[in-house]
C-alpha cells in the first residue's frame, strides 16, 4: 500500500532501501531521540528492514525528486502503551520543511480510516520539542510522562 500527499509519497520499505536505512538509523537525530540500534552495515540495514519495518512504517519520499527523506508509520503492540502509536523520523538535513507534519497527517488519517483505530498514541523524548510540535499540529495532545520498558528515561506520552 502507498500513501500520498501533495509533496510526498509514502511507500513500504524493501531491501533496496538498505542504504537509506543505514543513513537514517545513524543520523544524529535518530540516535538522540530514538536510540542507537547498532546498524552499521548494509547487511545490518537489510536485517533491520526485515525485522522491524516489515509491518507498518512507510518510507517518505519527495514526490518527483525520488529522494527518501524519512519514515513514518503506526506501531502496533509497543510494550507499555495502551494503543497503537504513530512514529516518524527524518534525516536532519530535511528538517524544517514540514515533511514530518505532512507525512504524520496522512498516516494518522490512514490509521483512523483504513485501520479503524479510534485512539492513536505517540511518545517522544522529553526534550524533543520539534517532534512534540508535529504531534500537536496533527491533533494529538500531551497526556503525561511515562516510563516504558527498555527505556532509561521517561517519555512524553501524547494521545488523540
Residue 57 to residue 41: CA distance in whole angstroms: 21
Residues 138-158 pLDDT 10s: 999 999 999 999 888 999 999
pTM of structure:
0.92
- pLDDT surpassing 90 at residue 26: yes
- pLDDT surpassing 70 at residue 55: no
Tell me the three state secondary structure of residue 6: coil
Domains of the chain plus CATH, in order, are 3-159 (3.40.630.30)
Tell me the three state secondary structure of residue 74: strand
Residue 103 to residue 109: CA distance in whole angstroms: 10
Amino acid at each position: 500500500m502507498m500513501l500520498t500527499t501533495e509533496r510526498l509519497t509514502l511507500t513500504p520499505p524493501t531491501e533496496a532501501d538498505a542504504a537509506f536505512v543505514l543513513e537514517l538509523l545513524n543520523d544524529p537525530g535518530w540516535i538522540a531521540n530514538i536510540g542507537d540500534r547498532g546498524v552499521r552495515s548494509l547487511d545490518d540495514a537489510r536485517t533491520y528492514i526485515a525485522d522491524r519495518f516489515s509491518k507498518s512504517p512507510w518510507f517518505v519520499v519527495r514526490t518527483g525528486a525520488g529522494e527518501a527523506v524519512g519514515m513514518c508509520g503506526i506501531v502496533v503492540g509497543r510494550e507499555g502503551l495502551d494503543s497503537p502509536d504513530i512514529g516518524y523520523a527524518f534525516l536532519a538535513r530535511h528538517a524544517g520543511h514540514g515533511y514530518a507534519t505532512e507525512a504524520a497527517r496522512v498516516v494518522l488519517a490512514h490509521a483512523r480510516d483504513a485501520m479503524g483505530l479510534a485512539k492513536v498514541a505517540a511518545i517522544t523524548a522529553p526534550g524533543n520539542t520539534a517532534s512534540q510540535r508535529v504531534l500537536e499540529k496533527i491533533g494529538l495532545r500531551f497526556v503525561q510522562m511515562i516510563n516504558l520498558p527498555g527505556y532509561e528515561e521517561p517519555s512524553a506520552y501524547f494521545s488523540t
